[in-house]
Amino acid sequence: MSSADNLIFHVRPGGCLTGNLRVPGDKSISHRSIMLGSLAEGTTHIRGFLEGEDSLATLQAFRELGVDIEGPADGEVTIQGVGMHGLKAPAGVLDLGNSGTSMRLLVGLLAGQGLALTLVGDRSLSGRPMRRVTDPLAAMGARVETTEQGTAPLKIQPVEELTAIDYRLPVASAQIKSCLLLAGLYASGTTRITEPAPTRDHTERMLSGFGYPVVKEGATVSLNGGGKLTACDIDIPADISSAAFFLVGATIASGSDLLLKHVGINPTRDGVINILRLMGADIEILNRQDVGGEPVADLRVRAARLRGIAIPVDQVPLAIDEFPALFVAAACAEGTTVLTGAEELRVKESDRIQVMADGLQALGVDATPTPDGIVIQGGPIRGGRVGSHGDHRIAMAFAMAALRAEGEIVIDDCSNVNTSFPGFVALAASAGLAIESKKEN
């Protein structure tokens, strides 16, 4: 990053969050809508698509693979599906930017296409572990090379065919599960994936929506290769992972009363609501409905006093992206919050345990990292300057901390907020956060 790229958030202390708002579309569902729409037979119309850099990286990759995709325009995308075997070799490498989901799902989807392809990413993505997907793909007969460190670039070589595997995931990861299910579409036999704990199931739900039979039995999901996808219309709900910043912000800022519209509340994603409620948050779930196979609701959140808790380990995979925001809630709670069983946070867009602990400490909060979690003692939050390490969720979490801070919070390196939440600054300001973003040279 050159210094000219340093986008800085300045957030003045105090205030509260009020009004009605809709945060942008779900990132996980947006990625999958492009992938399955591209492989389907017929035309897929998408509404509510996330126009953030991560999902746009997936969209661009499929354009480079020869798919005709119109949009996005105001969240609408139209895909002329090419069928299961219609992708074409791209002219160059596929650059997936900061997006781990794009890389891990695409390597599975592309491993059995009979094409030679290279997947690359930015500095953060190029440091993230990829053997967790390339090892089981190799067991299916795929040929994918990583660097010696097991990282991207990923070089895919064509193979004659893939063979289904019966695989027990070593970590609770929807990205690994989805990677192998997508590879399984091209494998002979039945691919069976067993997870150690439930993880987001958008791939399974969307495959069913496209007419592809998927069987779920307990912790195991399976599908037979060789089927086809039939185009459909997809209405993408607002992303609960983006709503999470506002759930925390409104909870910690006295006087807040906020309605978050049309949020996806899939039970494999609702850990943030469960954890905040256990801490004493006041979150009402209104207007529940089913939208295209995904549960959706409006969330009303009002300020509440929080108490520290031991976060139940079974909630960890259900809230895996929401911990930066939850750590801010913990800093505002009375007593101690203890997180365990969350070592995965160390290999996200940044090491979210260390980076959050460093930032909280810089703001005067007693936060002690542990190998698989953190211990946070609630107390006053001072003003100060923190680094986001280019991690979108760290930047937005610290922005919300200003609602309870004693002085201004300045957050460095915030341009990656655009990967998941374009328009964050304007939307947060419209709800009452005193935030400004500035470029610094």
Q: Which C-beta is closer to ligand S3P: that of 235 or that of 321? A: 321
Asked about 321 being catalytic, the answer comes back as yes
Collapse the DSSP code of 60 into the 3-class scheme (helix H, G, I; strand E, B; otherwise coil) and give the result.
Answer: helix
178 versus 416: smaller Cβ distance to ligand S3P: 178
* Rounded-to-integer distance, Cα 42 and Cα 141, Å: 30
Which residue sits closest to ligand S3P, CB atoms considered? 28
Q: Which among 235, 270, 298, 321 is annotated as catalytic?
A: 321
Closest-CA residue to 66 (of 94, 103, 97): 94
For ligand S3P, the closer CB: 33 or 101: 101
Instruction: Give min distance, CB of 236 to ligand S3P, in A.
Output: 13
And the tokens for 192? 């069976």
Whichever of 53 and 321 has its CB closer to ligand S3P, that residue is: 321
Q: Which of 160, 165, 176 is nearest to 139 (CA)?
A: 165
DSSP letter for 150, please. Answer: S
Q: How far is the CB of 150 from ligand S3P (least distance, A)?
A: 15
In the complex, minimum distance from the CB of residue 395 to ligand S3P, in angstroms, rounded to a whole number: 15
- CB 133, CB 104: distance < 8 Å: yes
Question: Taking a C-beta distance cutoff of 8 angstroms, is the pair 18, 403 a contact?
Answer: no
**Footprint of ligand S3P on this chain (CB under 6 A)?**
28, 101, 173-175, 178, 200, 320-321, 344
Nearer to ligand S3P, 256 or 420 (CB): 420
Give min distance, CB of 194 to ligand S3P, in A: 15
Tell me how far apart the alpha carbons of residues 57 and 185 are, in angstroms, rounded to a whole number.
22
Roughly what angle, to the nearest 10 degrees, separates helices 202-209 and 174-184? 30
Report in angstroms how near the CB of residue 25 gets to ligand S3P at its nearest: 13
Structure tokens at 396: 């937005």
Measure the CA–CA gap between 17 and 19, rounded to whole angstroms: 7
Q: Just list the catalytic residues.
A: 321
